[in-house]
Amino acid sequence: MQPILNFIKHPSRLFLGIVKKTHFLYSDSVYLRLYYFFKLGKVLHLHHPLTFNEKLQWLKLYDRRPEYTMMVDKYSVKNYVAEIIGREHTIPTLGVWDSPDDIEWDLLPQQFVLKTTHGGGGCGVIICKNKATFNKDDAIHKLSVSLKSDIYKEFREWPYKNVKKRIIAEQYMTNDGQELEDYKIHCFNGTPKFILLCRDRFSKKGLSEDFYSTEWEHLNMKRPNRDNPGGHNRPKELDEMIRFAKLLSKDIPFIRTDFYIINGQVYFGELTFFPAGGMSSFEPEEYDRTLGSWLVLPHEMS
């Protein structure tokens, strides 16, 4: 009875599920049109995209530089970033393996982080704060599930299509035992425009989001079902993060550059070409059009 009620209340969810299950039947263009319609309830305009979400879908289809694959690989990207902003701004890697069964557990320290190289949005991330109480079997199961995930198949994010699926261990980083704050700088044609501050992603109370301008002015923009209370102090390292973001986003139509501040030092997090797959609503809704006006597609440049 409950599935029937869910279908009556949210029929688009059922149709979206069918599209995802039958993804192999569609070309990238057709799949994105169907996914976009059932996810956002809007027609996807690819010939003349205007909104931020529409333009991200266009970039999926028509901006396919080979180096993008390396840039979304959480292992390979570190050397790329180190050459641009310095090795000291990358989190140390403790090991890399093709399978959970290959992990050299005895060589890992008491605290560490495991993640898959092809995941996004926190997918495939496991934090070990105490090796003595760490559930290794549970971690192996989660990593095995994550290795089967495929961002290309679900969202047609082309950079992920050929990423080698591996597992990396990284040094556990913290600010006096506190969870790290994630500064996500959104860059449009090489220019940082705004920052999404994410906090408490792995805490019991759940993810908290705030949007700020690059001058650290609180914006009234938010995503559905997220808070945006503001009131956070301007980080002393903000100018340095913005400088790094400019360097990493040079000559790229859109990219999000993520950073952490750990004991006064800026560390690189990851690069993202399509936040939320380019399928996220905004409140107020006009921000989708505003952000779209900031993103000049390659064929639109004079």
Instruction: Check if the beta carbon of residue 262 is closer than 8 Å to that of residue 88.
Output: no
Residue 133 lies in a domain: yes
Residue 200 lies in a domain: yes
Task: Give the total number of structural domains in the chain.
Answer: 3
Residue 74 lies in a domain: yes
Instruction: Check if the beta carbon of residue 262 is closer than 8 Å to that of residue 180.
Output: yes
Residue 204 lies in a domain: yes
pLDDT of residue 150: 92
For helices 28-40 and 52-62, angle between their N-to-C axes, nearest 10 degrees: 160
184 and 267 both lie in a single domain: yes
CA 35, 40, 43, 44 torsion: positive or negative?
negative
184 and 212 both lie in a single domain: yes
2 and 23 both lie in a single domain: yes
Q: How many residues does this entry show for the chain?
A: 302
Residue 60 lies in a domain: yes
CATH number at residue 131: 3.30.1490
Neighbours of 201 (CB within 10 A): 16
Cis peptide before 284 (omega within 30 of 0): yes
Which domain range does residue 130 map to?
92-172
Is the pLDDT at 265 greater than 70? The verdict is yes
pLDDT of residue 300: 81
Residue by residue, DSSP assigns 150-178 as -HHHHH--GGGTT----EEEEE---BTTB
20 and 68 both lie in a single domain: no
* CA dist., res. 288 & res. 63, Å (int): 20
pTM for this model (two decimals): 0.92
38 and 60 both lie in a single domain: no
* CA dist., res. 298 & res. 273, Å (int): 15
Is the pLDDT at 75 greater than 70? The verdict is yes
